[in-house]
Amino acid sequence: MSVSLEKYILAVITINRQRVGGGAPVFYADEEKELEQIAFTLEKILDGIAHEITPDTLIIVKHS
């Protein structure tokens, strides 16, 4: 924690299909509640922190 060697995006969760793409796994949600739910599950499983990029896109980032 005191030394951040690398941070990487483990997953992207979004409602807006047009705005994301690229290397990390992308999870699509239909509405905000589902977005929260997926992010919650992924945060606990992946042990990465959920960060809000825009209100309709969250990312799970591993800080180690």
Partner 1 sequence: MMGNYTVPVVMGVMFGVAARLYMLRTDYRQYPTYPHGRIIHIALGFIAALIGSVVIPSILKPDWTAVTFLGLAAQQFRDVRNMERNMLQQLDSMELVPRGVSYIEGIAQVFEGRNYLVMLTSLIVTLVAIRAPFWWAIVVGIAMFAVNRWLMSGKVLGQIADIKQGHIVLDGPNLYVDDIYIMNIGLQSDRDAIREHGIGVVVTPKNPNSLVTIANLGQRQAILHDVSSIHGVYRDSGEPALVPLIKRDMQNGRLGIFLLPEEKDRSKVLKTIERVPVLDSAIRLPREASVNQQTRGTR
Q: Are 42 and 60 in contact (CB under 8 A)?
A: yes
Q: Looking at beta carbons only, is 21 or 54 nearer to partner 1?
A: 54
Site for partner 1 in 17-56 (CB under 8 A): 36, 39-40, 43-44, 47-52, 55
Rounded CA separation 52/23 (Å) = 18
Task: Tell the smallest beta-carbon distance from residue 26 to partner 1 (Å).
Answer: 15
Residue position matching structure tokens 């589902």: 34
Is residue 8 a contact residue for partner 1 (CB under 8 A)? no
Task: Tell the smallest beta-carbon distance from residue 60 to partner 1 (Å).
Answer: 8
Query: Within 13 A of 17's CA, how many CA atoms are on the CB side?
Result: 3
